[in-house]
Amino acid sequence: MVESNYDILGIIENSTEKEIRDAFRRLALQFHSDRGGENEQFIKIKQAYDDLKIGKKYPDTDNQKIKNSKVYSGDTEADVRRKNQILGQELFNEMKTAEEWAGVLNRTNTIGTRLFGSKTLGEIELERKANGSLSIKGNFMAGSLTYDGSIVMQGSITSPSWTQEFQTNIHLTKGDFKFIDPLENKYKIENGARIIVDNGNVVVGNIYGRKYRVEDPDGRVGVFQIQEHRTHISALNGKIIAENLANTVLLEADTIIVLNVEDDVILSAREILFYGGKLTYDSIIELKQGGSIRFFETFSIQGLSGDAIIKLENGKKIRLFDLKTKKIKDLADEFVSNKENYAKDATMVGHGFTITYDMLDNLSKKPTKKQKQSWASKFGF
């Protein structure tokens, strides 16, 4: 009898998501190597848990594992490109079918569940819920999907790095896009994937782009070109909440809430809140008129690089490093009416101080000097 993923976790078939998760956590504590368990058994348990999250009842056979291990590989570079092209086309076509299927269910207000994807790269499960939202379980790897409602995602999102032809594009015409427990599950968005939400919020985990060097097409020695796949998340009428952003990322929203930002990240919003201590390497904050920025941590020397800037809508640019050294008491009185509430050496960056657009646009303004009273005026002369 073939052992199913349910058998591996010691639960009955068709167990609930909570029962599956609880079983995994119990066995993970028992078999994790940090607790003296067997690493091989832990890997088996983890794979069974990941499989069940996408509705996969049985683990891969040895032949399937060998086949899967050859994805994105080959004897020559031409073999790699050829195989990737075939796999990308397969996924692209599958997601087009998935989009049509979900659209029909949405228009007829019908619930349903179906597997899509590639047998080689792995399948994902789409489920249209009674409330109209679309649940996606599994890793979204290529292709486009437009949906007229909210999407709840259990899995990571990537995009083919070898071509723009099959780029991952997820578009919500209404509703929110959310990862389920992104920090706990370590879900991420990477490799130039695009998520566009017209009227809703985005709640995700880590976001990464991809930037790499390629040899000069003319064969010149020592000459390279930079290829980039900028991961793009947009919620112009809503809020984006994310963890760490790194290596060629663009976020656009009304409000952006993030932890750390590193290496060529662009944030464009009316309101931006930073809860981490890193903002480095050519990162840009594009602040909308009437907006504000708040930093809840003070940056170390390593955490804030000199090339990180704020760009105002009118084109003016301010180095973040200059704000780190600018004291609140030195700002014009019209922008800070309660200076006495801040420490004498408190700067604009840190402790949640609200940095407004107008404040940044008028940084050169000096505080009003208080006139000293003469001794005679004290007595009414």
- Does residue 20 sit in the same domain as residue 103? no
Amino acid identity of 61? Answer: T
Total number of domains constituting the chain: 2
Type of residue numbered 78 = A
Same domain assignment for residues 161 and 250: yes
Could you give the CA distance from residue 254 to residue 197 in angstroms, rounded to a whole number?
A: 12
- Main-chain dihedrals φ then ψ at residue 84, nearest 5 degrees: -60, -40
User: Residue 332 contacts by C-beta under 8 Å, 6 or more apart in sequence?
Assistant: 362, 365, 366, 367, 368
CA-closest candidate to residue 353, choices 378, 328, 334, 332: 328
CB 255 within 8 Å of CB 241: no
Shared domain check, 268 and 220: yes
- What domain range is 145 assigned to? 78-361
Compute CA 324 distance to the chain's CA centroid, rounded to the nearest angstrom: 26
Helix (H) or strand (E) holding 339: none
Question: How far is it, in rounded angstroms, from Cα 241 to Cα 130?
Answer: 26
Is 372 inside any structural domain?
no
Is residue 172 domain-shared with residue 286, that is, in the same domain? yes
Residue 157 in any domain: the answer is yes
**166: which 2 tokens?**
């099959």
Return d(Cα 223, Cα 185) in angstroms, integer.
41
pLDDT string in tens for the chain (381-residue length): 568 889 999 999 888 888 998 999 888 888 876 666 666 788 888 888 888 876 778 776 655 554 444 344 445 556 656 666 777 788 888 899 999 999 999 999 999 999 998 666 678 999 999 999 999 999 998 899 999 999 999 999 998 866 678 899 999 999 999 999 988 888 999 999 999 999 999 999 999 998 877 777 777 777 777 778 899 999 999 999 999 999 999 999 999 999 999 999 999 999 999 999 899 888 999 999 999 999 998 877 678 877 899 999 999 999 988 898 899 999 998 998 888 888 888 999 988 999 999 999 999 888 776 545 554 555 555
- Whether 355 maps to a domain, the answer reads yes
Q: Is there a single domain that holds both residue 136 and residue 10? A: no
Instruction: Give the N- to C-terminal CA distance of the chain in Å, as an integer.
Output: 106
Q: Which pTM value belongs to this model?
A: 0.75
Q: 284 and 257 share a domain?
A: yes
Cβ atoms of residues 265 and 246 within 8 Å: yes
Please, what is the angle between helix 17-31 and helix 39-53, to 10°?
Answer: 170
